[in-house]
Amino acid sequence: MSQIKALIINPDSTWQVSLIDSGLKSLQTLVGGYIEAVTTDDGTTIFINEEGNLNGLAENPLATYLWWTLAPYMIGVDALVGTAVVLGPVDNEGDETGVTPDTLKVFADVALGEVGMRLAQESIEAAEKYLATTKNGS
């Protein structure tokens, strides 16, 4: 089994770039259950726990801000929960590839607050509205 570079973002906003084994089992171990792939227009794939919302996993603001930066049409529509594993696009054979340098640069901007603060200010109302509707069962 080959290894690929992954960005792993935890709900407490700690993160690391690590080499992980490619494949389903490794991703399931990292997210703590069945996986769900969230993709962006540039092909970045963010893997999260498929049942994270149902199981009440903690919100992951840093992963959410990265996702919203890469997919602005998702701002305020949904948020990510639990540990997120960020990889690159799939290759021609359908296999996952490592997180790209471009995605890591975007993440650095988000993590350092330049983009994160702007997104937080622009979308806090949308996020609060989304969270209020999910808590009220609407």
Calpha distance 32→99 (Å, rounded): 20
Number of neighbouring beta carbons within 10 Å of residue 64: 25
Query: Where are the chain's structural domains?
Result: 3-135
Calpha distance 114→108 (Å, rounded): 9
In this structure, are residues 7 and 107 in contact, taking their beta carbons and an 8 Å threshold? yes
Question: What pLDDT score does 135 carry?
Answer: 62
Q: Give residue-wise pLDDT tens across range 40-81.
A: 989 999 999 999 999 999 999 999 999 999 999 999 899 999
Q: Which of 26, 77, 85 is nearest to 60 (CA)?
A: 85
Number of neighbouring beta carbons within 10 Å of residue 27: 21
* Whole-structure pTM value: 0.80
Residue carrying the six token digits 């935890």: 10
Confidence category of residue 124, pLDDT binned at 50, 70, 90: low
